[in-house]
Amino acid sequence: MTTWEYPPYKVGGIASHCYDLSRALARQGHNVHILAYGNEEKTENYDNVTVHRIPSTNAPDTISWAMFLGHRMEKKAIELHKEDKFELVHTHDWMGVPAGVGIKKTLKLPLVFTIHSTESGRVGVHNQYTKMINDLEWYGTYEADQIITVGQDFCNEVRNLFHPPENKLNYIPNGVDIKRFDSNRYRVDRNHFALNWEKIVLFVGRLTHQKGVGHLLNAAPHVLKENSEAKFIIAGTGDDKRNYQNLAKSLKLDDKILFTGYLEEKEMLSMFKTSDIVVAPSVYEPFGIVALESGAAKKPIVGSYTGGLKETIIHEWSGLHSYPADSKSVANELNRALSDDNWAKRMGRQGRGRVEKDYTWNKITNWTTGVYGKAAGLWN
Amino acid sequence: MQKQVKMIKKILILTGRYQENETVFDYCKNLAQFLGNKNIETHIICFDDYTSDETADRFHLHKISFMLDGNNLFNWTMLMNNEIKRKARELFESIDFDVIHVNDWTAAPAGMTIAKLTGKPLILTLHSTEHERGFMKETSEVISSVEWWATYEASHVFVHNPRTVESVKEHLKLPEGKVTVLNTKHENWQEKIEEVYEMVIN
């Protein structure tokens, strides 16, 4: 499996996805090697998954950096293949495409490509650089024997953008490892984040336009008017962090909004459990793993009715849907949840039940190995 | 007991550029024809930009195509190399080449990969280095990294003139004994290459 990000290197949800999927594959008896970025070349072993860390080089931009990394990953794959014959290569998102396609061509292996989001959806295709990323996504879908998309709506997006043959296109949702939440013994000190009487409204994600942080900040005054006990915790980092901090200041919300920056895994898991409600005001969200994480932590979620959140949140059952890019709607749904503690807690418990039933990694891994079989021509 | 000396029988030449009236074109074609005349089975894999109708005489020419544009030469080249790798791997399925001879950084990724896959020696000709070309592009550093890796992984490196020797020694830290100056305007340059081929397979 090739992925640039694998814990502890983590920017978006791909690192967690690859971590959980690889461990579940290993539990099922598959021999899994991960080729992932690292600042020095070394091999690690976790839970029967072998992780080969590969450095890249100085490059002027992320695309060139990923190209060079891909070339080095490919050479590593050849070395490993001589000892431990691979049967398939599985790559993730455009940054994994150079390595994935290179390995496919050199070792004559079937290629599975999981696409987690598109450049078109994230920032739009508006210059040569974004066009190149869009082209790499297309190239991945073109060269892959099978494509996995992580959301039903998103599957349509990929279909309409890249026009792959229908028999190559699959939809498999993300999963969540509930045990990671249940077994986390680390506890953040709630007093560092909120006063005793305050209720924590938690946002976790990259601080970018795509995640709708601006809409949340603009919703905050309307929430505080009705629910003055709300305290907004913004966990994560991103290119737009400074802008959002300035926006919070201009809205005079300094004491009601806390930017925590990047949280380590154990802090993040504890933060979910410490919060009262989770919010995901995304403008674009192919899957939205945060809805599963809130469920695993037994917390209700207010999330945009967009992409994967349409299916992962059941409105008024496991959480509430707000309209995308609509701060008033975000405020309205947060106020509904904050005004009825019992209902909010019930939605959290029901979210947990749904996650336990439909989004376990064992189930998702079974579907994924089914796609591997299709790619390898086993069921043709 | 005397060690048996292996003879060169099959050569694979890789080049990104293969356009008439260019140095790389003349070099690859002259070399391939020379080897062909000596009954050494020679194959060239090159990128086909549809500007040339060149066909092969005394050697085999395989033109590969690649449909993406790329936002710069480096990114395009790295992806185009996937097609050179595919073709080279396919040829290796039926032909056991003795040496892989790659030209410049534009085919070096494929050369390095296929050499690692097959365990065959890699010979690199650098017609110039990125430093000699001015190191003016945004991607110059990453191109130079590819050149460094290629000189590092090659069994031997050819360059055209003493200036390039200085560049590969200074900028790519290549040891002196691994590089040979080869002036294609001088007589017997092809024989010099043949000597190195025989050296690296024995």
Q: Taking CB atoms and an 8 Å limit, are A59 and B89 in contact across chains?
A: no
Q: Within its chain, how far is the Cα of A77 from the centroid?
A: 26
Going across the sheet that includes A42-46, the strands are A32-37, A49-54, A42-46
- Total structural domains in chain A? 2
CATH number, domain with residue A20: 3.40.50.2000
Q: Distance, in angstroms, between B141 CA and closest chain A CA?
A: 7
Annotate A277-339 with DSSP letters as a single string: EEEE--SS-SS-THHHHHHHTT--EEEESSTTHHHHS-BTTTEEEE-TT-HHHHHHHHHHHHT
Same domain (yes/no): A233, A122: no
Domain-located, residue A39: yes
Q: Judge whether A230 and A223 are in contact, CB under 8 Å.
A: yes
Residue B73, chain A, CB below 8 Å: the answer is: no
CA torsion through residues A288, A293, A298, A302, sign = negative
Q: Taking CB atoms and an 8 Å limit, are A58 and B117 in contact across chains?
A: no
Q: Taking CB atoms and an 8 Å limit, are B142 and A60 in contact across chains?
A: yes
Enumerate chain A positions whose Cβ falls within 8 A of a Cβ in B: 57-61, 63-65, 67-68, 70-71, 74-75, 78-79, 98, 101-102, 105-108, 128-129, 131-132, 135, 139
Interface test with A, best of B73, B85, B136, B172 (most A CBs within 10 A): B85
Domains of chain B, by residue range, sit at 10-201
Domain-located, residue A305: yes
In 3-state terms, what secondary structure has residue B2?
coil
**Contact residues, chain A, for B148 at CB < 8 Å:** none
Same domain (yes/no): A368, A352: no
* Strands A49-54 and A42-46, sheet pairing: antiparallel
Domain-located, residue A6: no
Q: Which of the 8 DSSP states describes residue B160? A: S
Same domain (yes/no): A137, A62: yes
Q: Which two tokens stand for residue B105?
A: 């950084």
Q: What is the CATH number of domain B10-201?
A: 3.40.50.2000
**Contact residues, chain A, for B83 at CB < 8 Å:** 105
Query: The pTM is what?
Result: 0.91
Q: Judge whether A357 and A247 are in contact, CB under 8 Å.
A: no
**Tens digit of pLDDT per residue, chain B (202 long)?**
677 889 999 999 999 988 887 889 999 999 999 999 999 999 999 998 877 777 888 999 999 999 999 999 999 999 999 999 999 999 999 999 999 999 999 999 999 999 999 999 999 999 999 999 999 999 999 999 999 999 999 999 999 889 999 999 999 999 989 999 998 888 889 999 999 999 999 9
Domain-located, residue A3: no
Same domain (yes/no): A211, A123: no
Give per-residue pLDDT as tens, A160-201: 999 999 999 999 999 999 999 999 999 999 999 999 999 999
Q: Judge whether A131 and A108 are in contact, CB under 8 Å.
A: no
Helices (H) and strands (E) in chain B, counts: 6, 7
Same domain (yes/no): A134, A198: no
Domain-located, residue A211: yes
Tokens 């940054």, located at residue:
A95
Same domain (yes/no): A169, A256: no
Domain-located, residue A5: no
Domain-located, residue A8: no
Q: What was the ipTM of the complex prediction?
A: 0.94
- Residue ranges making up the domain that contains A311: 179-358
Same domain (yes/no): A202, A132: no
Q: Distance, in angstroms, between A70 CA and closest chain B CA?
A: 9
